[in-house]
Each structure stands twice: as structure tokens, then as C-alpha cells.
């Protein structure tokens, strides 16, 4: 499966289900929860959803609103170590299971999330 075909396969609904399932887990998480101000959770959810939609072939809302993603720069204020990376992957893995996306979509997203989460590590 090509990355740009993912949006065609799962559409807005698939990304909505996935990202909502992830953000339902964040507030009570002891590692990730403190990184997300409670007043910004809904916006953080929208930003991630818009980023993923645009990254995988849907409307480029994220780029239109915020410009180039610059993921490492935008996440530099947060202390992201290996434990935080692993927890993010764990919560997103549970969200992927809950969202029940087609297997090719899930496999592509797991690979993408693993690589990007590793790239985001900025502390020992």
C-alpha cells in the first residue's frame, strides 16, 4: 500500500476514530498526560488528526493552517526520552486496535508512528 492511498482507504472517519481513541488515553497517563495541557487537548487532537490526514493523502489543512510540520522543532519544548516514546507508541497501538482499521492501513501507520516517534526523542 502506498502512503498517499491511506486517506482513500480509511477517510476522515478512520483518522477521527484513531486520533480520538489515542487522546482518550492521554489525560490519565502518568508519562504523556503532563505534556498535554488540559485546556489544549481538543486542539492537540485536531492538530494530530489534520497532520495525519494531510500526510496520508487527504486535504492539507495542517499545512494550510500551520505551515511545514517541523515536528522536531515543535516538540523540542517537551522532554521526550525513550520511555515517553515507548509510551506514545503503546497508547497509539491501543488506539489502532480500538479504531479497527483495515490491516494494510494499520501496518502502514504502525511503521510510520514507530519511525517518527523514534525521531522525536530529544532527551536521554
Residue 28 has pLDDT above 90, yes or no: yes
> CATH homologous superfamily of domain 3-119?
Globins (1.10.490.10)
- Report domain extents, the chain: 3-119
What is the pTM (predicted TM-score) of this model? Answer: 0.94
Residue 100 has pLDDT above 90, yes or no: yes
Residue 35 has pLDDT above 90, yes or no: yes
**Grid coordinates belonging to 105:** 492501513
Instruction: Write out the DSSP string of 54-115.
Output: HHTTS--HHHHHH-S--HHHHHTTS---HHHHHHHHHHHHHHHHHHT--HHHHHHHHHHHHH
Residue 3 has pLDDT above 90, yes or no: no
pLDDT band (50, 70, 90) for residue 50: very high
Amino acid at each position: 500500500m502506498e502512503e498517499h492511498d491511506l486517506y482513500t482507504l480509511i477517510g476522515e472517519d478512520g483518522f477521527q476514530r484513531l486520533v480520538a481513541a489515542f487522546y482518550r488515553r492521554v489525560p490519565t497517563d502518568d508519562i504523556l498526560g503532563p505534556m498535554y495541557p488540559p485546556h489544549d487537548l481538543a486542539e492537540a487532537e485536531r492538530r494530530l488528526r489534520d497532520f495525519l490526514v494531510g500526510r496520508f493523502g487527504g486535504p492539507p489543512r495542517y499545512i494550510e493552517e500551520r505551515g511545514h510540520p517541523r515536528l522536531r522543532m515543535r516538540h523540542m519544548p517537551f522532554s521526550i526520552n525513550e520511555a515517553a516514546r515507548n509510551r506514545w507508541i503503546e497508547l497509539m497501538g491501543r488506539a489502532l486496535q480500538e479504531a479497527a482499521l483495515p490491516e494494510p492501513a494499520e501496518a502502514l501507520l504502525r511503521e510510520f508512528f514507530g519511525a517518527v516517534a523514534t525521531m522525536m526523542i530529544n532527551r536521554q
